[in-house]
Amino acid sequence: MAPRRALFSVVFLLAIGAALLFWLADTRNSQHEKSRTAAVSLNDALFAADTDRGELVARASGCIACHTNTENAGSFLAGGVRLESTFGTFISPNITSDVEDGIGAWSLEMFAQAILNGRRPDGSHYWPAFPYPAYAVMSGQDIADLYAWLQSSTPVPVASTKHDLLIPDVARAGLGIWKALYVSENYKPGLFVERGEYLVEGPAHCATCHAQRDIIGGVPDRRLSGNSRGPEGAQVPAITSTELADWTMDDLVFYLEIGMTPEGDFSGGHMAQVIEHGTAYLPLEDLKAIAAYLKSPANRESL
């Protein structure tokens, strides 16, 4: 009996310790989440929300590429795009205005919580395949515009497909610890003033693909120095100013418009989708701002 009691005691203490760690992480996250939501003025932004601007926010943020299953002729924004990872397969959800299967029943506040803090309407955590660590810097105006555009979309009554993961869904509760490690308390609306830096580090979430991830899927160093384990397991190139030294501003703008490199090659894989459904639609001023930031000293290999 003694060994069994000892084992029970160890398991009990570990469970108490894990529960305490989860509680501390969620307490820390709640404080920073309140700070982020307090940094945006949603009511004023919603009053002036513009669906045309919202579409540009969606294009810059990769919403169409990630939530439209173009390979299988899926409906616009109805989800179903598969993202293979070392943790299993994430499948993007329906984000049309459908009340039952999409986000048509969401309030602006619910939407902002998802974008800024990675929280579902029921308060649980989203898996960070949804790039909320980058979206955390988005302005209230961009959030309200994006919300208005999504709510104006054609409702598609298609239920979202569940993720096919190697880890149980109950592990979602531990994402509070993940957030405490990888979502900086300083990462909040208003952090980036310059347009190019805002787009690259925020909505366009370039670090999500172009920065190296660690064993638990975090991005400890947001330098855009490449990723050996990018989408679909493909290697993603570095896009620091050092690596792009031979690219001119015009080269970068042209690439973001049509996907052609200075050597005449064309982008493929996930990046082709990003360009086709995203950056190709952005105004020239935004493309120049992105190019200027990528070429700037702020985007060196190391600072």
pLDDT tens-digit readout, 79-106: 999 998 889 999 999 999 999 999 999 9
- Check whether residue 248 and residue 163 sit in a common domain: no
Decide which of 215 and 278 is more confident: 278
Residue 149 falls in which region: left (phi positive, over 0), alpha (psi -120 to 50) or beta: alpha
Quick check: 4 pLDDT over 60?
A: no
- Check whether residue 64 and residue 152 sit in a common domain: yes
- Check whether residue 82 and residue 184 sit in a common domain: yes
Number of C-alpha atoms within 13 angstroms, CB side, residue 167? 12
Task: Work out whether the CA dihedral 58, 200, 48, 257 comes out positive or negative.
Answer: negative
Decide which of 227 and 245 is more confident: 245
C-alpha span between 16 and 224 (Å, rounded): 39
**Amino acid 301: pLDDT:** 66
| Residue that terminates a domain, selected from 143, 173, 191 | 191
- Check whether residue 158 and residue 290 sit in a common domain: no
- Check whether residue 156 and residue 277 sit in a common domain: no
Q: In what order do the strands lie in the sheet with 88-91?
A: 82-85, 88-91, 164-165
Q: Quick check: helix, strand or coil at residue 68?
A: strand
Helix (H) or strand (E) segment spanning residue 89: strand 88-91
Q: Which residues of 269-294 are buried (b: 16+ CB within 10 A; e: fewer)?
A: ebbebbbbbbbebbeeebbbbbbbbb
Number of structural domains in the chain: 2
C-alpha span between 248 and 48 (Å, rounded): 37
Decide which of 301 and 72 is more confident: 72
| Residue that terminates a domain, selected from 191, 209, 225 | 191
- Check whether residue 14 and residue 132 sit in a common domain: yes
Q: Which residue has the tokens 């602006």?
A: 108
- Check whether residue 220 and residue 303 sit in a common domain: yes
Quick check: 150 pLDDT over 50?
A: yes
> 266 pairs with which residues across the strands?
260
- Check whether residue 137 and residue 244 sit in a common domain: no
Quick check: 24 pLDDT over 90?
A: no
- The pLDDT > 70 percentage for the chain reads 88
- Check whether residue 120 and residue 235 sit in a common domain: no
Q: Which pLDDT tens digit goes with each residue over 258-267?
A: 999 999 999 8
**CA nearest neighbour of 209 among 225, 198, 197, 194:** 225
Q: In the chain, what are the helix, strand and coil shares in percent, each to the nearest 5?
A: 50, 5, 45
**Amino acid 86: pLDDT:** 86
Quick check: 282 pLDDT over 90?
A: yes
- Check whether residue 184 and residue 208 sit in a common domain: no
- Check whether residue 165 and residue 296 sit in a common domain: no
Decide which of 12 and 38 is more confident: 38
Quick check: 232 pLDDT over 70?
A: no
Which domain, by its residues, includes 253?
194-303
What does pTM read for this prediction? 0.88
| Residue that terminates a domain, selected from 130, 160, 191 | 191
pLDDT, averaged across the chain:
87
- Check whether residue 156 and residue 198 sit in a common domain: no
